[in-house]
Amino acid sequence: MYQEPDELLSNSFYKDVVNSLESAGKVIDINPNVISRLKYPRRAIRVSIPVKMDDHSIQVFRGYRVQHNHTLGPFKGGIRYHPAVSLGEVAALASLMTFKNSLLNLPLGGAKGGVQVNPNSLSKMELEALTRRFATEIGPFIGPDKDIPAPDVGTNPETMAWILDTFSLETGYSQTGVVTGKPVEIGGSRGRQSATGLGVVYIVQQALETQAKNISQATIAIQGFGNVGSHVGIEAHAMGAKIVAVSDVQGGIFNPNGINISELFRYLKQNRFVQGFPQTENITNEQLLELEVDVLCPCALESAIHEKNKQNVKAKIIVEGANGPVTPTASEYLSKNNVLVVPDVLANGGGAAVSYFEWVQDISWLFWTEQEVRQKLSDIMVNTFGRVWNFTRKYQSEKDKNNLRSSAMAIALLRLEKAMKLRGQI
Ligand code: GLU
């Protein structure tokens, strides 16, 4: 009998994902073999990445690529650069990609990669060397038909360009479809960079509608001002929402009358962190999560809302821009206390959706306008929200009428179950 790998289950995030998988399996009749298979990733690659630093010393970094499941299509998921990266975390994120891609009806499986590094502490040359060596190490396992990386926390289009170049050097010809989220000039999709944030905002609109509210009258707090949070800010601001608070790793800023997001971007060109922006009050990341707002968007890292602060949350809607920002127990508590928590696999699916669009454009060598991408993104987000909402109304009991997480996971599982059955895997 297969023993549960300690390295995975001793990681609380991985355990959380397994818990939500198991509770989704209870919402609707799902073949238990599906759950048994999905509790473990298919393959985990661990590599050492020696880098010659600018001072000529050698530093060795640790990297991972976890390929969770490819029943529905090639493995797909981002690469994270962060000091806290571990095998368990990457495996949890890889599993979430399987469920996200299944829920969104994409023909893709789930994977994730990560390097344990603080990208801000490396020079550009060092970062490029690290990325190229990582790409070489995982090279035999990735490819447009095998596994397609994308950006995540700490990586960006430039990182993808280096991976694309290294991979193409090794194969001897240019294969743009090996990564998504790359610059538009080398086969990237228009609208990919803003896609996750814009997708979050489409979901905010849908969630507000269920409470008969409009985004133009809503107050929003955003935790995290990286690629996801900043685009949530821009897009929601453009739709007339009042962004009362935003934060980054150093802390947050608050103005009950709304923050001028365009001005904030100008400010951030000269300043690295949001604190100090005129006409705002400094707050901590903890305080931001406890503000009285219509919508709270945690767009930073996992486990921001947990056992100890869940009862202090005052927002009526939480839209998970990050992966796993609300732990399953906190999510269940909040759902039961009338907070609508829109889970990551639905809320931040816009990035994965436009990555899929990018991959399709690369394979067909035919590129779409930004307007086409935004329209297709809106269609997929609105449609997926509708499916999760209707499923919840149909299958959840009165006490779980807000439990969109287990509904979203159950829908993802039903699709995987059908595919596994057809392929003779269960
Ligand atoms: N890293 C993003 C996510 O967690 C995007 C993944 C992708 O585009 O493949 O959804």
Written as tens digits, the pLDDT of the chain (426 aa) is 555 556 788 899 999 999 999 999 999 999 999 999 999 999 999 999 999 999 999 999 999 999 999 999 999 999 999 999 999 999 999 999 999 999 999 999 999 999 999 999 999 999 999 999 999 999 999 999 999 999 999 999 999 999 999 999 999 999 999 999 999 999 999 999 999 999 999 999 999 999 999 999 999 999 999 999 999 999 999 999 999 999 999 999 999 999 999 999 999 999 999 999 999 999 999 999 999 999 999 999 999 999 999 999 999 999 999 999 999 999 999 999 999 999 999 999 999 999 999 999 999 999 999 999 999 999 999 999 999 999 999 999 999 999 999 999 999 999 999 999 999 999
- Ligand 1 centroid–CA 110 distance in Å is 10
Which residues does a 6 A CB cutoff place in the pocket of ligand 1?
76-78, 150, 152, 180-181, 323, 348, 351-352, 355
Mutate to test the pocket of ligand 1, among 301, 323, 355 (most ligand atoms within 8 A of CB): 355
Q: Which residue in the block uniquely carries the two structure tokens 């790359």?
A: 182
The count of C-alpha atoms lying within 13 angstroms of the C-alpha of 270, restricted to the half-sphere facing its C-beta, is 6
Closest atom, ligand 1, to C-alpha of 77: 9
Question: What does the DSSP 8-state code read for residue 75?
Answer: E
Compute the Cα dihedral for 90, 16, 223, 308 and give only its sign.
Answer: negative
Distance CA 279, CA 205 (A): 28
Closest atom, ligand 1, to C-alpha of 181: 8
Q: Which residues of 403-426 are buried (b: 16+ CB within 10 A; e: fewer)?
A: bbbbbbbbbbbbbbbebbeeeeeb
Which residue's CA lies nearest to atom 10 of ligand 1?
352
206 closest CA partner among 349, 369, 397: 349
- Ligand 1 centroid–CA 161 distance in Å is 16
Q: In this structure, which amino acid lies at residue 360? A: V
Relative to beta strand 219-223, strand 295-298 is parallel
370: left (phi over 0), alpha (psi -120 to 50) or beta: alpha
Q: In this structure, which amino acid lies at residue 111? A: A
Residue 349: CB atoms within 10 A of its CB come to: 29
Closest atom, ligand 1, to C-alpha of 356: 8
Which residue's CA lies nearest to atom 8 of ligand 1?
352
Mutate to test the pocket of ligand 1, among 196, 320, 384 (most ligand atoms within 8 A of CB): 196
The pair of structure tokens assigned to 103 is 């829920």
- Ligand 1 centroid–CA 351 distance in Å is 5
95 closest CA partner among 420, 413, 419: 413
Closest atom, ligand 1, to C-alpha of 152: 1
Mutate to test the pocket of ligand 1, among 13, 152, 344 (most ligand atoms within 8 A of CB): 152
Residue 251: CB atoms within 10 A of its CB come to: 16
Could you confirm whether 314 is annotated as catalytic?
no
Which residue's CA lies nearest to atom 9 of ligand 1?
77
Q: Which residues of 213-244 are buried (b: 16+ CB within 10 A; e: fewer)?
A: bebeebbbbbbbbbbbbbbbbbbbbeeebbbb
Distance CA 426, CA 414 (A): 13
Distance CA 161, CA 374 (A): 23
Q: Where are the alpha helices (DSSP H) in 104-260?
A: 124-138, 157-171, 195-209, 227-238
Are 230 and 363 a contacting pair, CB within 8 Å? no
